Structure 1
Amino acid sequence: MDDVKTAIEQKIATLTDRTLLLLDDDAPFRQRLARALESRGFSVTAVESVAEALKVIEASPPAFGVMDMRLEDGNGLKAVEALHAKRPDARAIMLTGYGNIATAVAAVKSGAVDYLSKPADADDVVKALLAVEDHAPAPPENPMSADRVRWEHIQRVYALCNQNVSETARRLNMHRRTLQRILAKKAPK
């Protein structure tokens, strides 16, 4: 573990641009994470809304971004997309308290390099931002079961079909009644 920490510290020391945009509407978490990232050498601009983030990105796009997924005025994916449009070499990660496979895929498609569940540790955030080579992340301690992954996928498709059971069943290539039974059950662990 010390090797990973040393590799991260060395990588931070070699960075020419350490600007970082932190977007989160949870003020205590945002302030705590901003302080922790600043203590690791980043120049942090912390904002609480997508509108503020877009203004910062437009004025001076940072090299790094840490964005919350769900905010009061929109979605953090919009800020990630704007950051990559203004600065394609920027590295951004998504944070969320509502983790599921579909939103992780959406985050990566929008340009995020990783996706972390809240509350995220500052060290995990830095590891994800820098993605130190030759140091694969540890496997999750409590990975989702296959049943949960399937359930999450079905829920995502159902939401994308505006809760239309017939359309969702058609897209998932399953019988409508089977889908109705699945939707009636609680989420698996």
Structure 2
Amino acid sequence: MKSSITKNTLKAIYRLLDRVSPLDQDCGQLCGAACCTCGSEINFPDSKGEDDFGIYLLPGEEKMFSRKEEWLGWEKNHAEDYEFPDSWHGTVYFLHCKTAPCCPRENRPLQCRFFPLAPHLDEDDVLHMVYQDSELPYECPLISQEIPLNEDFIRATYTVWKHLIQDPLLYDLVVMDSDFRIEDLGDEIEYLYP
């Protein structure tokens, strides 16, 4: 599966998202870094990373990693075996933290940098930012308590997704997720931006 997003573009996106944060404080202090630790070998030392909580890299994002990072566990999966868009074929990479919550923040994958936001395309194909609504094995206070997020974080995440959906694979992913969201929530979708 070949993404049109280059490594240089990904580096620029990482740099942009390094400059913003959901809150002015470390949001992990609110929940004990739940999103970083619930799948780690620190909390589940006998798990060997199998079936742990983790994230999928976006297509092409594997270029940002050597696959020798000691803080990451890697799994190679076939897109066809999971719920991905029909246009996705071949390898998708699933990662879980092995040394959480002590990952090098500047190397976090995009899905970690976007959280708790998700891209959503409405019926008119207009991009919006919404709260992540995937089922999670923990409660995120940013979502459950609707703690106001920094506007610069929301705008930067929106800007990145505006660029990323130019890639057909990522566009198809956002369309699929948005269709599920529309089916589940209908008119109750809360747009955070714009």
TM-score normalised according to structure 1 size? 0.29
Higher share of residues assigned helix: 1
If you compute each CA radius of gyration, which structure gives the higher value, 1 or 2?
1
TM-score normalised according to structure 2 size? 0.29
* Structure showing greater relative contact order (alpha-carbon pairs closer than 8 Å, 6 or more residues apart): 2
